[in-house]
Structure 1
């Protein structure tokens, strides 16, 4: 056998082969890591979209069942059981498991600041027809029970708004020209529609996940069907 036929790799050739192999492995690993991150990001986005869709459906179920009843105010004035501001909504509606003669509840949808971030909150308490209604104190913990009633207030965080802002609008009923209002205070009847928005934000999870939510009140629909 000749000496040239038995010749193997030199040390330099072996080092070059190892370096090239290492570079190829780095490229493959980088591509795999990028694909994994993209997959995880896509899964998180889909999960957030699903959670937002579920939350919007729950808000639609709660707000659409708002009822118009007459209650007395702190000075004896007659009020409707629906009060809405730009960033807060209070209304009366049946409980989730209430039947035709079941209990009624007050609901409050609002925004609360916690550690520099905004949270979309829901508060619920039992409705009492005989209670004088002061909108500023209806859900104040230190005011609960001032008339001797043992009333429990339950609060639920619904979603982090990041640095977004909760905004609501109220549409007049259709016996007038359509008018959009930024509040619904001291009105004798329910609005035709409530629109819930979250302003755009540069930080997740709000941006791109919350389309405007328009909610038609069922009591209005029932009145239309009875005509």
Structure 2
């Protein structure tokens, strides 16, 4: 009687097949994980771009409507209701769309340091006609109105970045050319344009997180379009 030989895998062949299968699965899993990270990174970047666009639109809307109001200082001196420093901006503009058209607010934009993070902060408080303005006390807690009531100061953290600085510049047009200067203090009229820059130690992060934003004030926008 003839015996039949049964062909099959040896233990060594089976182990080799399992090792090869494990390597293939590892490569597939690594590629899937890399794709997932890339997708998540792209989602975060798109979200960052959308938030940045919304924030810049808000700043463009507020600053462009800065009003050419006059206020009196503690000594009775008359000044423009606009104080532009190299790292801080204070101005008067309309309030929310839901409020009456003649409602005006003081606004202050500055960079606040909180531990290892820097935050672009917007403060707002009501504007009163013929009020006496002390620039150093304008947004100090506990300020009182003419009626003796405490001024309500609202504060919003608009954007957070590690160790960032706000750099502002102001443009005027004494002749046919625009000229930049580092501040706009004790001026008789509003600047033509305000430029925002947010700087971090990493220039690439600065450019990606916050490209330069130039805002033409509404008072001059028509005149500039005519040139």
Whether contact under 8 Å (2:125, 2:151) holds in the other structure is yes
Q: Counterpart of 2:43 in 1: which secondary structure?
A: helix
Q: Counterpart of 1:208 in 2: which secondary structure?
A: helix
Query: Does residue 175 of structure 2 align to residue 178 of structure 1?
Result: no
Query: Does residue 140 of structure 2 align to residue 145 of structure 1?
Result: no
| Deviation by residue 1:118-166 (Cα, 9 ceiling, x = unmatched) | 0000000000123211111100113x11751331000000001222211
Query: Does residue 191 of structure 2 align to residue 191 of structure 1?
Result: yes
Q: 1:222 deviation in Å?
A: 5.4
Whether contact under 8 Å (2:162, 2:200) holds in the other structure is no
Q: Counterpart of 2:134 in 1: which secondary structure?
A: coil
Relative to structure 2, which stretch is displaced further, 217-226 or 32-41?
217-226
Structure 2: where are the runs of 5+ without partners? Answer: none
1:54 corresponds in structure 2 to 54
2:66 corresponds in structure 1 to 66
1:27 corresponds in structure 2 to 27
RMSD over aligned Cα atoms: 2.4
Structure 1: where are the runs of 5+ without partners? Answer: none
Deviation beyond 4 Å, 4+ runs, structure 1:
98-101, 174-177, 203-207, 222-226
Cα distance in 2 for partners of 1:221, 1:214 equals: 12
Map 1:87-126; keep pairs closer than 5 Å.
87-97=87-97, 101-126=101-126
| Deviation by residue 1:10-59 (Cα, 9 ceiling, x = unmatched) | 11111111111111100100010001001100110111011101110110
> Under a length normalisation based on structure 1, what TM-score does the superposition of the two structures give?
0.90
> 1:207–1:213: structure 2 CA closer, same or farther, 3 Å change rule?
closer
1:77 corresponds in structure 2 to 77
Whether contact under 8 Å (1:160, 1:205) holds in the other structure is no
How many residues end up aligned between the 2 structures? 224
Query: Does residue 100 of structure 2 align to residue 130 of structure 1?
Result: no
Cα distance in 1 for partners of 2:140, 2:113 equals: 16
> 1:27–1:225: structure 2 CA closer, same or farther, 3 Å change rule?
closer
Q: 1:200 deviation in Å?
A: 4.0
Q: 1:176 deviation in Å?
A: 6.8
Q: 1:204 deviation in Å?
A: 9.6
Cα distance in 2 for partners of 1:150, 1:188 equals: 30
> 1:21–1:203: structure 2 CA closer, same or farther, 3 Å change rule?
farther
